[in-house]
Amino acid sequence: MSTFQAPKGTYDLIPPNSATYLAVREAISVPLRNSGYGYIETPGFENVELFARGVGESTDIVTKEMYAFETKGGDKLALRPEGTASVLRAALEANLHKGGNLPVKLWYSGSYYRYERPQKGRYRHFSQVGAEAIGAEDPALDAELIILAHQAYRSLGLRDFRILLNSLGDKECRPVYRAALQDFLRGLQLDEDTRRRIEINPLRVLDDKREAVQEQLIGAPMLRDYLCEACKTYHEQVRELLTAAGVAFEDDPKLVRGLDYYTRTTFEFVHDGLGSQSAVGGGGRYDGLSEMIGGPVLPSVGWALGVDRTVLALEAEGITLDIPAATAVYAVPLGEEARRVLFGKVTELRRAGVATDFAYGGKGLKNAMKSANRSGARLALVAGERDLAEGVVQLKDLASGEQTPIALDAVVDEVRRALG
Ligand code: AMP
């Protein structure tokens, strides 16, 4: 193993590609910030108990994929595998739900960790932007979140994605369905692990990707036939609001998702250019999660969109984001005196808000101009001894090659004018 190698299942974001990741995070957060969601940041690790109780003891995320560890002080912690449980924990800790201003709407952006088998689009360290609306049961809130995710993807130029929608019922109707499903599943030819899953979390069996299992699932009872009136009405309203907003979706009665806390509305955004790791984002309603982690009744809904897969989706659709060059002006000094004077001008320009860089390290003219071009700058400021003696620097348009002397004490104004 080479010393310079990131751990398995991880990769580094480096320039220039890292700019795309920043732009994706930004694009996903814009519709949220514009809709009353406030920014929240929580620690990268939590007490392992939070995820065991919140995400679910029977989920792959908790049993197989969590980076759980004990500290030297004996604390049992885990790197966060997802955002919802942490955000809800933080909101409860800060009593945000007691301000009389429900729902509490929060958005976040950060790193998440799952010990998964790495492949394209599936990493052990990945990045999500998420949103949670805590403490309100209102179909318009479920619709809002789906509409905002749709808006975010559209703003990036993405088109080849689909929204899968389902309802998982609530504490009235789900247990009845669960029992019916268990009856059906117990009669199938399944391996030991799956048989155990029938008893702990039978809905997850529907999610099994193996063909031999899927074949046997034909004819399984479907949750939509068991939804109670309240859940049916709720779901119908979410569907109507999405349709009215012009957001197309597909009903997917088999969509269950890998986390235990979902109730009623569940949805996933899938992209058709991504192969097997096609889910770019997902979420849903989690009316029981607060109680599961020891809080009050707080019906809530949220989603998390994967930044890594969104970037892959952009690549799959051949979309290059229009990211402005980081540097507008590049200063090239020729000689010691010019270096001192130009560095002063660079500082002045930066303080005036002009993105400026400098040829460090005593580069020769040819090398310095190469760096100037590589930086993406539109203008170069070039000065040698003779220029300084005349009180000027040369302002060079890097696209046309055209060069004009400008007065040293008018550099900021002249540069601003040239940049338009
Ligand atoms: P989940 O909570 O598992 O539905 O994850 C939400 C989103 O995060 C997914 O739709 C993916 O875009 C992204 N995601 C989840 N796990 C990974 C992973 N191991 N690698 C990359 N992206 C992931």
What angle separates helix 174-186 from helix 192-200, to the nearest 10 degrees?
160
Mean pLDDT, to the nearest integer, of 316-324? 95
Residue 340 has a pLDDT of: 96
φ, ψ (nearest 5 deg) of residue 78: -145, 140
| 83 alpha carbon – ligand 1 mean position (Å) | 11
260 pLDDT higher than 70:
no
290 pLDDT higher than 90:
yes
Best residue among 61, 120, 128, 255 to mutate for probing ligand 1's pocket (most ligand atoms within 8 Å of CB) is 128
The model's pLDDT over 20-50, given as tens digits with 9 standing for 90+, comes to 999 999 999 999 999 999 999 999 999 999 9
CB proximity list for 26: less than 8 A, separation 6 or greater: none
Query: Using a 6 Å cutoff on CB, does residue 110 contact ligand 1?
Result: no
Best residue among 126, 164, 269, 280 to mutate for probing ligand 1's pocket (most ligand atoms within 8 Å of CB) is 126
Of 124-138, 247-261, 322-336, 392-406, the poorest mean pLDDT is in 247-261
Residue 207 has a pLDDT of: 81
Assess contact for 218 and 254: CB atoms under 8 A: no
306 pLDDT higher than 70:
yes
Sign of the four-CA dihedral 133, 139, 144, 147: positive
Residue 59 has a pLDDT of: 79
SS (H, E, C) 323-351: CCCCCCEEEEECCHHHHHHHHHHHHHHHH
Domains of the chain: 17-173+227-316 (3.30.930.10), 329-419 (3.40.50.800)
Relative to beta strand 379-383, strand 392-397 is antiparallel
CA-nearest residue, atom 11 of ligand 1: 306
Residue 259 has a pLDDT of: 65
Assess contact for 298 and 97: CB atoms under 8 A: yes
362 pLDDT higher than 90:
no
Relative to beta strand 104-113, strand 38-39 is parallel
What angle separates helix 336-351 from helix 411-419, to the nearest 10 degrees?
60
Query: Using a 6 Å cutoff on CB, does residue 122 contact ligand 1?
Result: yes
Greater confidence, 326 or 406? 406
355 pLDDT higher than 70:
yes
The model's pLDDT over 247-259, given as tens digits with 9 standing for 90+, comes to 999 999 888 876 6
The model's pLDDT over 152-168, given as tens digits with 9 standing for 90+, comes to 999 999 999 999 999 99
331 pLDDT higher than 70:
yes
The model's pLDDT over 194-247, given as tens digits with 9 standing for 90+, comes to 998 899 888 888 888 899 999 999 999 999 899 999 999 999 999 999 999 999
Ligand 1 atom, smallest distance to 123 CA: 20
Greater confidence, 349 or 363? 349
**Average pLDDT over the chain, rounded to whole?**
94
Please tell me the pTM assigned to this model. 0.93
Question: What CA–CA distance (Å, rounded) separates 266 from 166?
Answer: 5
Query: Using a 6 Å cutoff on CB, does residue 281 contact ligand 1?
Result: yes
Question: What CA–CA distance (Å, rounded) separates 126 from 114?
Answer: 8
Rg of the chain taking only CA atoms, in angstroms: 27
Question: What CA–CA distance (Å, rounded) separates 298 from 85?
Answer: 13
The model's pLDDT over 371-400, given as tens digits with 9 standing for 90+, comes to 999 999 999 999 999 999 999 999 999 999
